[in-house]
Structures are given as C-alpha cells and as structure tokens.
Amino acid sequence: MKNSRHHEFEFTIPGDHPCLEGHFPDHPVVPAVVLLDQVLQGIDRAWKRQPRRLSQAKFVSPLLPDEPAQVSLELDANGIKFSARKGERLLFNGNFLLP
C-alpha cells in the first residue's frame, strides 16, 4: 500500500545471504544493520528521501533467514516512523529523522 504519507512493503533475506555467515553459527539471525538497510531502501522507493539519522530503534524479536517481514512506514513533519512484523509478531520499530 502506498500514499503520500504511508507505505508498506515486504522483504525476505535469503538463507544464503552473506550477512548470515557467523551471525550466529547453527542458528542464523538477520543482523539489525541489514534490517535497517531494508527500511532505508523502502524509504527511498516510497519518497526518494534519505533520512539524516536514526533517532530510535527497538529490536523486539529476531527475523530468521527466509522469513518474510512486513514493513510499515509513516511520514510526518519530523521524520519517518517504521515498524516491521512477521504476521502478528512485532520484529522491530523506530524512527528516522529527516534533514
């Protein structure tokens, strides 16, 4: 879903992605930096904007390889709020500030 203030998208990090090597052996978890990169890519696709900085992020539940994550973005005057879920389970949320 996309409109001037709201955008939603889904992503999946494949099990053979290089970021998973060593993160963690025998039980890979998608690193937070990869999750935030997916959010930044979604912001760029939705609004062609590049946030100034991450003001807050909370990682609640791990995302495993090959699991889909649904991301919701909300643009307001101060920045972009984001949250990601796998089904009903909250994975992470936070806020980027805009220049």
The percent of residues in the chain predicted with pLDDT above 70, rounded, is 97
Q: What number is the average pLDDT over the span 15-43?
A: 93
pLDDT at 69: 98
**pLDDT by residue (tens digit) across 85-94?**
999 999 999 9
pTM above 0.85, yes or no: yes
User: Which pLDDT band, with edges at 50, 70 and 90, does 1 fall under?
Assistant: very low
**pLDDT by residue (tens digit) across 59-74?**
999 999 999 999 999 9
| Domains along the sequence of the chain with CATH | 6-16+28-97 (3.10.129.10)
CA 6/CA 75 separation, integer angstroms = 6
Task: Measure Cα distances from 88 to 13, 17, 36, 52, 85 in Å.
Answer: 19, 25, 20, 30, 6
Place of tokens 């879903």: 1
Q: What number is the average pLDDT over the span 27-49?
A: 96
Single-letter amino acid code for the residue at 54:
L
DSSP state of 63: -
Place of tokens 């307001």: 76
CA 4/CA 93 separation, integer angstroms = 20
Phi (first) and psi of residue 54, to 5 degrees: -85, 120
**Six-digit token string for 97:** 């500030």
